[in-house]
Chain A
Amino acid sequence: AIQLTQSPSSLSASVGDRVTITCRASQGISSALAWYQQKPGKAPKLLIYDASSLESGVPSRFSGSGSGTDFTLTISSLQPEDFATYYCQQFNSYPRTFGQGTRLEIK
């Protein structure tokens, strides 16, 4: 199974900050990666698919990049509603796997 390792596991930041979360795959997955945001008690919400395509309705401050084994999710200017846990997930092969998550907290 392909392992996805996210860093950092947790992050403290302030409103207005630029934040970057990385996701590294244990083997190449082309651009078959999605990013999700999860708030407490809620289901994950799709943000990015195909590594860099923004899901409809998702604010443009979210962006994704990368291919192969290294990927990033960037939030250009943190808003209060962005404090949540973020997961990457690969669609290159089975079983589908997720990163362990990055918890984004208010500083």
Chain B
Amino acid sequence: QVQLQESGPGLVKPSETLSLTCTVSGGSISSYYWSWIRQPPGKGLEWIGYIYYSGSTNYNPSLKSRVTISVDTSKNQFSLKLSSVTAADTAVYYCARDTRIVATGMTYNWFDPWGQGTLVTVSS
């Protein structure tokens, strides 16, 4: 079955750019949407944005000015860049397949599967 794995630095300095990659295994990245979601320690979940395998994106307006999500279909990977980070960006970052199924004229949507998550701490 499809599995996702996040990778990247666990520590980023304030004002720098956070960079993470999600590697998809057990299936192709093509024909799907892929999202990044984060969770500050002890808090709830926040959707960051998605990318379609073709490269189209949609970002959360709360982060839009600082976020870039890209895809590399040859490597079956997609990536997140978050610029000008502060301590408020400290969180566990998850990648997930943004699954969409069209049936009987309806579109069904959910996040599954998810990666295990990676903690990124913003600190000097």
B residues in contact with A55, CB < 8 Å: 110, 112
A64 to B114, CA, bound (A): 21
Asked whether B94 lies within 8 Å of A49 as measured between CB atoms, the reply is: no
* Interface presence of A11 (CB below 8 A): no
Given A94-B58, A95-B60, A95-B62, are A44 and B109 also a contact pair (CB < 8 Å)?
Answer: no
* Interface presence of A50 (CB below 8 A): yes
User: Least Cβ distance of A79 to chain B in Å?
Assistant: 21
Contact with A along B29-46 (1 / 0, CB 8 A): 000000100000000111
Asked whether A34 lies within 8 Å of B110 as measured between CB atoms, the reply is: yes
Interchain CB contact (< 8 A) of A49 among B46, B62, B108: B108
Interface centre among B35, B58, B62, B111 (most CB of A within 10 A): B111
A19 to B116, CA, bound (A): 28
Interchain CB contact (< 8 A) of B46 among A42, A43, A53, A98: A98
Q: Looking across the interface, which residue of chain A has its beta carbon closest to that of B4?
A: A43
B residues in contact with A34, CB < 8 Å: 109-111
Asked whether B44 lies within 8 Å of A91 as measured between CB atoms, the reply is: no
Interface class of chain A by DSSP: loop
Contact with B along A65-107 (1 / 0, CB 8 A): 0000000000000000000000101010011111111000000
Q: Looking across the interface, which residue of chain A has its beta carbon closest to that of B62?
A: A95
B residues in contact with A43, CB < 8 Å: 94, 96, 114-117
User: Least Cβ distance of B76 to chain A in Å?
Assistant: 19
A residues in contact with B115, CB < 8 Å: 43
Asked whether B111 lies within 8 Å of A46 as measured between CB atoms, the reply is: yes
* Interface presence of B105 (CB below 8 A): no
A–B complex contacts, Cβ < 8 Å, 8 sampled: A43-B117, A45-B114, A49-B108, A55-B112, A87-B45, A91-B110, A96-B35, A100-B44
Known: A44-B45, A87-B44. 17 other contacts (CB 8 A): A1-B61, A42-B116, A43-B96, A43-B114, A43-B115, A43-B116, A44-B94, A46-B110, A55-B112, A89-B45, A89-B111, A94-B58, A95-B60, A95-B62, A98-B44, A98-B45, A98-B46
Residues of B within 8 A of A (CB): 35, 44-47, 58-62, 94, 96, 106, 108-112, 114-117
